Structure 1
Amino acid sequence: MAFRGASADAVAALSGELETMDPRGSADVAGDLFTVADTLRAEGALRRFATDASLPSEAKSGLVGEVFGGKVDEATLTVLRSAVTRRWTVGRDLPDALEHLGVVAVVRSVGTDTGRLADELFAFAQAVKENPELRDALADPVRSPSDKRVLLDSLLGGRALPATITLAGQSLAGSHRTVTAALTEYQKVVASVQSQGVATVRVARPLPDAEVRRLGSALEAQYGHPVHINLLIDPSVIGGIRVEIGDDVIDGTVSSRLDDARRRLVG
């Protein structure tokens, strides 16, 4: 989610506050934040009151306490009270920010397993992209949310981290354009929490671990920060590798060189 102006400042400050909290309770806080975000999206009057810059902060903080007190974790309530005292560029940024903070909390809850979380999110996103039946089932508006979650549990239960299952379920919330768009955003959050970049590397066949490590070191040296590599097997590559990191594309594939040769011959 992209935030601008006052909303970007608010999200940065709230993210800093979240980092000071005990990560052992992060999973509960995340679930609360997702629920509150849904409530604010559904209740326009409450959202407008909570983001009205002309109202005293004390009034907005008090309302949050009345509405959500006793229903969410105390740590969550602290985040909410802080959130409503801040300025927001547009009202809808508040629920979007709370959802984003919920994703951050999920990532913090896994401790040192962030690499595994990133890999599992990438693998599930690829499964959704490559399986039209699964993609349609998850996007079907007639299918109930509980039915979709049962489907997710059958696919991921016992195979993935609880955090992966939580975020896979959150991707169904409809706050992103598609499920895969949500999962892509979550991967960026994981990388951000780790102070990493994310590179999608397309190869014709799996790379040995040593080559993956060398590539990661080379990308880190080039971009000035660690880079998490998502390895994608793509037979159309033929040979070589294609690296996509942010808006940059480093194409060293045989298919790319063949295409260049054809263009030169035609030209």
Structure 2
Amino acid sequence: MSAVSTESLNKVEQVLAAHAGQNPTDLAAELFAIVDVIDTNGGFRRGLTDPSRQAAQRAGIARSVLGGKISDNALAIVTAAAEARWSAERDLADALEKTAVSAVALSAEKRGGIDALEQTVNELLTFINTVDASAKAQAALADTRASKEALKKLAVSLGGKVSSEEGRLLLERVGTVARGTTAARLANEFVEIIVKRQNKWIARVVTARPLTAGQTAKLQSSLNKTYGKELKLDITVDSTLLGGLRVQVGDEVIDGTLSTRLADLSRAFA
């Protein structure tokens, strides 16, 4: 996606955060269905993305076509997408698909935090590895004569022992609607989206010397309180830091290392 479309995607995902509802997997299923409608209806797609129309006009088209047929939460997300600007006509549907996957990840987070996210990722990875290693599985998934139900069952079976609602929904999706790519590649795209959210639950700590059990517990408690959730600590030791530690959670970095402070001082006197 271009910078314009990426910025619009970020705005749509902000709307998701406010309209996820009690069961984000239900919302995700709705968004996937809406993507299918947009993909198969060129007039509707152009109406939602036409740059010559005002944002309110594009949102009005979304409401007139989908109002009363989908939930209020789904409609809020689609109208936000219609109001946004997209560099390419397809980008809006792509963004809604990514938002649907984010809704699935949000469901996993609510259910079991990072452990549930890892479970969903592992189910998708099992599917990818199985399909990549089997020409027979690839051919079966690409068989246009197979029914949707048959393809859903096949995709789930290729994911191994799939026990999560989130994993099942995503595998059923990649098994039936590849949207111009292969099932395994689409599953990998879904993995990348979930891992990006997963990283927000991992505190990657680099410290100048090993932490004691007491220091680790204190750091864990402090970070959990700061971020409002149970983070997983990933601690590595780097003696070149001289002292202190550096913590990264998602894109946010807290750097309290001596080497960084010395570098800052050197730049100040340069």
Please indicate, yes or no, whether the TM-score normalized by the shorter chain is above 0.5. yes
Inter-partner Cα distance in structure 2 for 1:105 and 1:146: 23
For 2:135, the equivalent position in structure 1 comes to 132
Q: Does 1:171 align with 2:174?
A: yes
Task: Quote how far apart the aligned CAs of 1:73 are.
Answer: 1.2
Q: For the Cα contact (< 8 Å) 2:12–2:80, is it kept in 1?
A: yes
Task: Quote how far apart the aligned CAs of 1:5 are.
Answer: 2.4
Task: Quote how far apart the aligned CAs of 1:132 are.
Answer: 2.2
Instruction: Give the letter for the 2:152 counterpart.
Output: R
Q: Does 1:98 align with 2:102?
A: no
Instruction: Give the letter for the 1:70 counterpart.
Output: G
Q: For the Cα contact (< 8 Å) 1:176–1:182, is it kept in 2?
A: no
- Identity of aligned pairs, percent? 24
Match of 1:184 among 184, 188, 205: 188
For 1:115, the equivalent position in structure 2 comes to 118
Task: Quote how far apart the aligned CAs of 1:53 are.
Answer: 1.4
For 1:243, the equivalent position in structure 2 comes to none
Task: Quote how far apart the aligned CAs of 1:217 are.
Answer: 4.1
For 2:24, the equivalent position in structure 1 comes to 26
Task: Quote how far apart the aligned CAs of 1:4 are.
Answer: 0.9
> Pairwise mapping of residues 36-75 of structure 1 onto structure 2 (< 5 A)?
36-75=34-73
Root-mean-square deviation (Å): 2.8
Task: Quote how far apart the aligned CAs of 1:20 are.
Answer: 2.6
Inter-partner Cα distance in structure 2 for 1:38 and 1:10: 20
Q: For the Cα contact (< 8 Å) 2:199–2:249, is it kept in 1?
A: yes
Q: For the Cα contact (< 8 Å) 2:27–2:73, is it kept in 1?
A: yes
Task: Quote how far apart the aligned CAs of 1:135 are.
Answer: 2.0
- Structure 2: which 5+ runs fail to align? 202-233, 239-244, 251-270
Task: Quote how far apart the aligned CAs of 1:176 are.
Answer: 4.8
Task: Quote how far apart the aligned CAs of 1:131 are.
Answer: 2.4
Inter-partner Cα distance in structure 1 for 2:121 and 2:61: 37
Query: With structure 2 as the length reference, what TM-score do the two structures score?
Result: 0.69
Range moving further from structure 2, 134-143 or 183-192: 134-143
Instruction: Give the letter for the 1:166 counterpart.
Output: L
Deviation by residue 1:165-189 (Cα, 9 ceiling, x = unmatched): 1111111312252111111111111
For 2:86, the equivalent position in structure 1 comes to 88
Instruction: Give the letter for the 1:4 counterpart.
Output: S
SS in 2 for 1:171: helix
Task: Quote how far apart the aligned CAs of 1:151 are.
Answer: 2.4
Task: Quote how far apart the aligned CAs of 1:153 are.
Answer: 4.7
Inter-partner Cα distance in structure 1 for 2:184 and 2:249: 26
Q: For the Cα contact (< 8 Å) 1:157–1:165, is it kept in 2?
A: no
For 1:160, the equivalent position in structure 2 comes to 163
- 4+ residue runs over 3 A deviation: 152-159, 216-226
Inter-partner Cα distance in structure 1 for 2:67 and 2:133: 43
For 1:253, the equivalent position in structure 2 comes to none
Instruction: Give the letter for the 1:167 counterpart.
Output: L
SS in 2 for 1:140: coil
SS in 2 for 1:24: coil
SS in 1 for 2:23: helix
Deviation by residue 1:30-83 (Cα, 9 ceiling, x = unmatched): 111111111111111111111011112222212211211121111010011111
Task: Quote how far apart the aligned CAs of 1:142 are.
Answer: 2.2
Q: For the Cα contact (< 8 Å) 1:196–1:225, is it kept in 2?
A: yes
Inter-partner Cα distance in structure 1 for 2:72 and 2:6: 25
Inter-partner Cα distance in structure 2 for 1:4 and 1:166: 28
- Structure 1: which 5+ runs fail to align? 198-215, 227-267
Q: For the Cα contact (< 8 Å) 2:128–2:184, is it kept in 1?
A: yes
1:104 and 1:162, CA in 2 relative to 1: closer, same or farther beyond 3 A? same
Instruction: Give the letter for the 1:178 counterpart.
Output: T
